[in-house]
Amino acid sequence: GEDVEQSLFLSVREGDSSVINCTYTDSSSTYLYWYKQEPGAGLQLLTYIFSNMDMKQDQRLTVLLNKKDKHLSLRIADTQTGDSAIYFCAVEAGNNRKLIWGLGTSLAVNP
């Protein structure tokens, strides 16, 4: 079946860039999403990219999509302590456009 994989942990220093990676298996995916989850909170949609794009930039966030390799990344520029959270990659798959979720990458930002 469809699968989404992410590395589980990432630690960066405040002010550095963070890059969170995601790979997926369903080549027919149309929309690919990044969600952020802070402790005790629900999921917040950060950004998304349509499958006919290879890059999308939104302020400090840059999403890169490599459809050939089925690889999605989220770059956060000038990472701040407030960016510490779990970041989930989610990919639309199948005819019913169900979201397939990764396990999440826990980002720790050190002062």
Binding region for other proteins (CB under 8 A): 4, 31, 33, 35, 40-45, 48, 88, 90, 92, 96-99, 101-104
Q: Which is nearer to other proteins, 9 or 81 (CB)?
A: 9
In one-letter notation, the amino acid at residue 107 is: L
Q: Which is nearer to other proteins, 14 or 25 (CB)?
A: 25
CB of 34 to other proteins, least distance (A): 11
Q: Which is nearer to other proteins, 32 or 76 (CB)?
A: 32
CA gap 83, 97 in Å, rounded: 29
CB of 68 to other proteins, least distance (A): 24
CB of 48 to other proteins, least distance (A): 7
Q: Which is nearer to other proteins, 103 or 108 (CB)?
A: 103
Query: With contact defined as beta carbons under 8 Å apart, do 79 and 14 qualify?
Result: yes
Strands (E) across 1-111 are located at 4-6, 9-13, 18-24, 31-37, 43-50, 55-58, 61-66, 71-76, 85-93, 98-101, 105-110
CA gap 15, 59 in Å, rounded: 15
